[in-house]
């Protein structure tokens, strides 16, 4: 194992543990993965995040075959992660959480929409909500081609379930999961305060244009 591979393993475990410490996931829920060359490093199923080590990560090939596991099983959501990598070669890490505010939108079957400049600039104006699919089955990612590929989203809600976020690397995927949870929370709090102040005329289009790459951030 190279030093770079070891570092990536350590990043996954560190960020996964941070999500637990933040209350974004419980002790045994959620999953995290990252590309490792042609293969994928995947968090193991039902393992305590406080005692998880880099050596416990499971190595899968692109088809989902286990190449190395130390006797552990990969997350039951591994195929969901692999589908994102198949659709988006530019993405190098994926995280799935059950964070409270994002999951509240998912339970309601609602995309996260708000007048937040950040939501427009970094997420194209909304975090969409996929139709329900039974956890651990291919139905979970039935709409990923639409959202991750055609609409170039990097984060989606899973109806009645939770959040999936992806990034070019481990820390970016972690950061996006954090950011989406905060956007969901602030959207709900603003509504409790009586509603959101609309962006100025033309601001939404300008920000989304920059997200699409029409301008610079």
Catalytic sites, residue numbers = 77
Report residue 34 CA to chain centroid gap: 12
Rounded to 10 deg, the angle between the 170-192 and 3-21 helix axes is 20
């Amino acid at each position: 194992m190279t030093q770079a591979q070891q570092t990536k393993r350590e990043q996954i475990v560190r960020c996964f543990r941070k999500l637990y410490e933040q209350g974004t996931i419980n002790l045994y829920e959620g999953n995290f993965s990252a590309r490792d060359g042609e293969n994928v490093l995947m968090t193991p199923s039902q393992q305590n995040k406080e005692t998880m080590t880099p050596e416990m990560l499971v190595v899968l090939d692109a088809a989902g075959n286990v190449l190395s596991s130390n006797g552990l099983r990969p997350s039951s959501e591994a195929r969901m992660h692999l589908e994102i990598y198949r659709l988006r070669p530019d993405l190098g890490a994926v995280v799935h959480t059950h964070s409270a505010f994002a999951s509240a939108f998912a339970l309601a079957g609602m995309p996260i929409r708000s007048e937040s400049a950040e939501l427009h600039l970094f997420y194209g104006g909304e975090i969409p909500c996929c139709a329900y699919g039974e956890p651990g089955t291919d139905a979970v990612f039935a709409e990923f081609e639409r959202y991750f590929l055609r609409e170039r989203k990097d984060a989606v809600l899973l109806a009645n379930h939770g959040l999936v976020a992806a990034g070019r690397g481990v820390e970016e995927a972690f950061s996006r999961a954090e950011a989406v949870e905060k956007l969901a929370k602030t959207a709900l709090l603003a509504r409790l305060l009586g509603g959101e102040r609309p962006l100025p005329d033309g601001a939404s289009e300008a920000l989304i244009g920059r997200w699409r790459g029409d301008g610079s951030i």
